[in-house]
Amino acid sequence: MAEPIGQKYPDKRRSRRAKIAKPLRVRPSEPRDEHFEDMPISVNASKDGVYFHTRRANYYKGMRVFVTFPFSSAHDPMNCEYVGEVVRVESLPNGRFGVALHLSMTLNYGAGASPGSISRA
């Protein structure tokens, strides 16, 4: 019998989620992790987090990643890249996984910031 989601995963969110299907790009930020570039579609998002489904089994709780959300192309000046951390990985049917990310920092490349400047999300 499945546990109710509230008992299995206590709600630690600070902001509400919105169902939003937007592309994102996820890459590991630690050199020890095998490099990959995942391009999933978000299921929902909040001010400081994103949840998506993927077929990649590379994700683990505590993994640090670079996240571009929303992502349109590698050369789009409107892309916003974040440093994030995997806070939950769920097994889903058909060999898929649900991944929840906490977005902790923004790497601002535009909007008046100098390249490489960092601000807290």
Question: Can you give the residue ranges of every domain in the chain?
Answer: 19-120
Over the stretch 43-80, which tens digit does the pLDDT of each residue have? 999 999 999 999 999 999 999 999 999 998 888 887 88
Name the band, by pLDDT with cuts 50, 70 and 90, for residue 19.
very high
Residue closest to 84 by CA, chosen among 56, 109, 111, 64: 64
Query: Averaging pLDDT over each range in 6-10, 94-98, 105-109, which range is the top one?
Result: 94-98
Average pLDDT over residues 98-121: 68
- 96 burial type by CB count under 10 A (0-12 exposed, 13-18 middle, 19+ buried): middle
What backbone phi and psi angles, to 5 degrees, belong to 61? -60, 130
What backbone phi and psi angles, to 5 degrees, belong to 68? -105, 115
Q: Above 90 in pLDDT, residue 88?
A: yes
- pLDDT value at position 109? 56
14-28, 29-43, 57-71 — which is least confidently predicted? 14-28
pTM: 0.77
What backbone phi and psi angles, to 5 degrees, belong to 8? -70, -40
In the DSSP assignment, the letter for residue 14 is S
Does residue 84 contact residue 65 with C-beta atoms inside 8 Å?
yes
Q: Which CATH architecture has domain 19-120?
A: Beta Barrel (2.40)
